[in-house]
Amino acid sequence: MAARKLRIQPVRTAANDSRERRPQNPAGLDQRNVKELVQLALEECEQLARPLPGKPRDVPETKTAEPAPDLRKPEPAKKPRRIWSRLIKSALGIALVILAGWGPAMRLFQVSSTQALVNARLVTIRAPIEGVVDFKADLNDLNGVFAKETVLATISDPHADRRRLIDFGREIDTARIERDALAASKEPLLHAQATFRRQVEDFRQGRIAELQARLDEADAEIATIEAEIDRARAHLERRNTLFERSVVAKAETEDATAALKVHEGRKAQAAARRNQIGVEIEALRKGVFIGDNYNDRPQSMQELDDITIRIADLEVAIEAKSRRIEALERARKNEQANYRRASFASVAAPIGGRIWEPLVADGEQVVRGQDIARLLDCSQAVVTTAVNEQVYNKLSLGDAATFILREGGRKYPARIVQLSGVASAPANLAILPSALEKEPYRATVSVTGLGGGESCMVGKTGRVIFESGKSAGVKGGK
């Protein structure tokens, strides 16, 4: 008998049935968990589909002859094993359905936003002066984050007003010339003052020497007169003695008495002259001149007084000019500072962040107060959300919330800081709340730990889960 060729067909197993009937990964189910469950189900089905040990399946030999129909008798069905296989597959299917629907079912009971994106406030910097803008920051690097007080641009004005600065310089030069002229006119007066002082001193010393000589002369005259008085007194005593003896006449006694009185008078006169000379010497030593034919100050001393007064007037004028120059110098210094502020200014970042929108080009002429750039405040990021009316009515300012990025990752704690409803929020946000179009009601939440760092996540989307009625600390917000 010619050998019959058997046609070997693929065996239909429970694993293949499971692959054909496996549903798509439902939304909200973890992909890793699904793969693990499917792998376990396949292994269980393959183990059930294997033949029992000790009862191998008979397979006839195949030859190269023409194929013949399979004369093998089909083995009787093993009903208990098939029932267990169906039960296991049904249980796995039910578990997959529960796991796939658990996430969406839980979301139905959560109070969450329809749309949510990371947002931040905008800070507009304006030109402090008029001039030409020179940007120091790279305007093409819009993602570059800079620190606070970073110089973003400089503005220079080559046509700033210098007239007041020039006027102050001219006034200072004029005052210095006048002061130098007064100082030059003071020099000859100082020389003349020194000359007259020497003359006055020489005259005083000479006058003192002259009066001292006269004083010595008066002392000598008084001594001479005292000697004459002594002789006249002795002569009078002899005459009185002779008169008592009646040797001489009374007239001689009277003559001797008169002569004594004359000498005593001369002594008194000499003593007065001596006192006068002493007074004059004492006055000269004090700088006072006393004489009969001139006043208390000689001519040279009067000239000295006049020159001294003129020198004092010049010193006052020079001091006034010096003070005026100092005042003009201070005014010019202040005007120089004003000119520097008006001709050059550095524009520093008042916050840490990045450039959101440059409003002028490098090298462009701007006026004072013109907007030159808008900065993004990445340190105080907020999340703008769109919710439906039912969710919006459950929210209150200060309620706690949780923000999750669309790409996954950590959960950020948050709180509601603004409920604007269908009205346009007055905040100067980088992305207007009107860009969220799925729902008409708007809410803003402040997220802890979302801002700062070296990156700025403005524009990234996510989801906000609200915890209605649970406070997150201080309520309120803008």
The side-by-side arrangement of strands in the sheet containing 365-366 is: 344-348, 151-156, 131-135, 365-366
Q: Which amino acid is at 426?
A: P
Q: Which of 446, 466, 453 is nearest to 120 (CA)?
A: 446
Pull the structure tokens for residue 315: 């010193």
Burial 117-135 (b: 16+ CB within 10 A, else e): bbbbbbbebebebbbebeb
Q: Write down the pLDDT at residue 331.
A: 94
Q: Write down the pLDDT at residue 26.
A: 41
311 vs 113: which has the higher pLDDT? 311
Pull the structure tokens for residue 378: 């990445």
- pTM, whole model, 2 decimals? 0.51
326 vs 253: which has the higher pLDDT? 326
Range scoring the smallest mean pLDDT among 107-121, 187-201, 235-249, 355-369? 107-121
Pull the structure tokens for residue 179: 């002061």
Extract long-range pairs of 106-109: CB within 8 Å, 24+ residues apart: 106/28, 107/28
For domain 164-321, give the fold.
Helix Hairpins (1.10.287)
Range scoring the smallest mean pLDDT among 3-12, 169-178, 389-398? 3-12
For residue 7, the tally of other CB atoms under 10 A from its CB is: 8
User: How far apart (Å, rounded) are the C-alpha atoms in residues 474 and 459?
Assistant: 27
User: How far apart (Å, rounded) are the C-alpha atoms in residues 50 and 29?
Assistant: 32
For residue 270, the tally of other CB atoms under 10 A from its CB is: 20
- For 80-108, the pLDDT digits (tens) are 666 777 777 777 777 776 666 555 544 54
303, 196 contact by CB (below 8 A): yes
- Mean pLDDT to the nearest integer, 458-470: 80
Range scoring the smallest mean pLDDT among 46-60, 129-143, 342-356, 421-435? 46-60
- For 14-49, the pLDDT digits (tens) are 444 444 444 444 434 444 454 565 566 666 656 655
Domain boundaries, the chain: 14-52+75-109, 115-127+374-471, 164-321
- Mean pLDDT to the nearest integer, 185-214: 85
- For 127-139, the pLDDT digits (tens) are 999 999 998 866 6
Q: What is the largest CA-CA distance in the chain?
A: 232
Question: Which CATH number applies to 115-127+374-471?
Answer: 2.40.30.170
396, 473 contact by CB (below 8 A): no
SS3 457: coil
